[in-house]
Structure 1
Amino acid sequence: MKKHIMHFILINVGLLMVGIGICFFKIPNNFATGGVSGLAIIASSFFKDIDVGPMMLIINVALLIVGFIFLGQDFGSKTMYSSFALSGIVWAIQKIFPLKHSLTDDMMLELIFSIIFPAIGSAIVFNLNASTGGTDIVAKILSKHTNLNIGKTLLLTDFLIAAGAGAVFGIKIGMYSVLGLSLKAFVIDLVLEGFNVSKQFVIISSKSDEIKEYIVTQLHRGATIYKAEGAFSHNTENVISTVLSRKQAIKLRTYIRSIDNSAFITISNTSETIGKGFRSI
């Protein structure tokens, strides 16, 4: 129960960050960098009486109906919740902090913040096996009826939305939107990698028993031990392999150096570790 509550809180924190990016930076500058928010920004320019938040809700409902028709019940509950919650958050922010103009006169600075907030928020949501919904449905439909994979169809869908911003708001906004779309994918991947990065140790030491004991009893992690022969010395040594968090990695490195200055250690980053004690499948 505690885990579900924490996930629910984190998803809403992520959605709030996405909402801040949309309301304070995307909408005032008409940056339609893909997604339902991009569609809503374009659509709201034709329907002046409907704000972006309510327009996102209308589009999300329409896309979910289309999704049920073409895909069946191929939606996760977290994704459905995120789709509607984000629309509500954007709606609420627009009511509380109505902005008629951009915060600054620097469009590049505004574009950067319009990418950073939604990218970090989306990464938090994606890391919990949810998504902000919307154009994911269109991408799935295109993927189902073409030979393209979901990643390519999602990029195509978002690119068409960004290009649509150029047709509606002018070539300058269109170019900013396409640039923002390109940078958004990079920042999301970077943040996700930061969330899930772990440290993989490969250790060769004469004190292998003590190191193994420290890993198991003090760090509460597992390790794999195997025999290996040196290419030059032909001596057989125990090799310890283990995967740790950043904090644990610092502790283990310090411990090894305190008991064996001649130990050979390689430490590498792993972008994602799945299994007991780490991320679930």
Structure 2
Amino acid sequence: MIARIGKKLDHYYYHQFVGAAFYGVVLGIAMNYFWQPGHIYSSGFNGLAQLIDTLTGGRFPVAWGIACANLPLLLLAWLTLSKRFAIFTAMAVVLSAIFVPLFATKTVLTSDPLMCAIFGGGLNGMAVGTALRCGLGTGGLDIIGMILKQHFRTKVGSVNLAFNALIMIGAGLTYGWQYALYSIIGVVVSAHFIDVFYTHQQQIQEMIVTNKPEMMCEHIQQKMRRGVTIIDSAHGGYTGKDKSVLLTVVTQHELGDLREAIKEVDPQAFYSESKVEHTGGRFFEPEP
């Protein structure tokens, strides 16, 4: 019995634990080795926590700000997204609040604000994108982004970018406008890395030309929960043979499984891929 429970926990929850811990560690490194030495503000609620820490003269530390600012949005995630997502997001928030002071250091790798903005933003985007890919959020704007994505198909990185104007104004008023501009560079880098690592939101249209349409359709649906449209009566211009054309849309994360399914059914099938900007109708979105 214990072995079965352990196996189930490992199967469903292990990667969420790892994602939360990875996020906390990487955020602690970015905050202490890049953002604070370079006077760079992070994006989202982490940047808000930095701003509060600065305005209170350190009396309300960044770790407390991260925990307190995220509490209302964790409740929102519990009510609107899913309880599992809210629990693991809370874990990521708590671990980040622990690791930020734990990684506090007097070692300065570089005080160049541009280098600190680029590397801090890159680390943050990698951490956030990986956490989202593992099925948990990191609090703050990520929860808002997930809600908007669920209803409006809006990319999470773009949502983060849109909500950070006030944080950048705060950075400008606190450290000077040149640091606000450097912080904006960090936010842009972070948003880009989020979209690179969080591949679940990137949609790909696949066109498959095959003479085994029914078998191909069945095999794709067995491997992933995706609909397939079959267009019959296609005609090969070179071979002169009748073919069928299959159309489906998957996420970037599912692309490897789709290619494997195609090769298993028909190694000679021709297929092409193109990025999709928007889908409507009944495109399946897994629960966060």
TM-score class, shorter: 0.5 to 0.7
CA apart distance, 1:129: 4.1
Residue 26 in 1 paired to residue 35 in 2?
Answer: yes
Q: Which blocks of at least 5 consecutive residues in structure 2 are unaligned?
A: 1-8, 149-153
Give the root-mean-square deviation of aligned CA atoms: 4.6
Q: TM-score, normalised by structure 1?
A: 0.67
Correspondence for 1:89: 99
Cα gap change, 1:13 to 1:240, in 2 (>3 Å):
same
CA apart distance, 1:272: 11
Asked if the contact 2:155–2:201 (Cα under 8 Å) also holds between the matched residues in 1, the reply is no
Correspondence for 1:17: 26
4+ residue runs over 4 A deviation: 46-51, 65-68, 70-75, 149-157, 194-199, 219-226, 231-236, 240-244, 250-257, 269-273
Asked if the contact 1:163–1:178 (Cα under 8 Å) also holds between the matched residues in 2, the reply is no
Asked if the contact 1:193–1:272 (Cα under 8 Å) also holds between the matched residues in 2, the reply is no
Asked if the contact 1:200–1:270 (Cα under 8 Å) also holds between the matched residues in 2, the reply is no
CA apart distance, 1:155: 4.6
Correspondence for 2:123: 117
CA apart distance, 1:12: 1.7
Correspondence for 2:17: 8
1:122-161 equivalences in 2 (<5 Å)? 122-134=128-140, 155=161, 157-161=163-167
Count how many residue pairs are aligned between Structure 1 and Structure 2: 254
**1:45-92 deviation line (CA, Å, top 9, x unaligned):** 3445558xx433245325526987x99966822232222221111111
CA apart distance, 1:248: 6.2
Q: TM-score, normalised by structure 2?
A: 0.66
Residue 176 in 1 paired to residue 182 in 2?
Answer: yes
**1:191-237 deviation line (CA, Å, top 9, x unaligned):** 213886768351234xx38x947x949x9679765522439799743
Residue among 54, 61, 66 paired with 2:68: 61
d(CA) in 1 for partners of 2:197, 2:128: 9
**SS of match in other structure, 2:103:** helix
d(CA) in 2 for partners of 1:43, 1:25: 18
Residue among 17, 38, 41 paired with 2:50: 41
Correspondence for 2:106: 99
**1:233-271 deviation line (CA, Å, top 9, x unaligned):** 9974333556664376278569956xx5xx543234579
Q: Percent of aligned positions with the same letter in both sequences?
A: 19
Residue among 223, 227, 236 paired with 2:232: 227
Q: Which has the larger radius of gyration?
A: 1
Residue among 233, 239, 263 paired with 2:245: 239
d(CA) in 2 for partners of 1:224, 1:67: 39
Asked if the contact 1:166–1:174 (Cα under 8 Å) also holds between the matched residues in 2, the reply is yes
Asked if the contact 1:228–1:237 (Cα under 8 Å) also holds between the matched residues in 2, the reply is yes
d(CA) in 2 for partners of 1:231, 1:71: 51
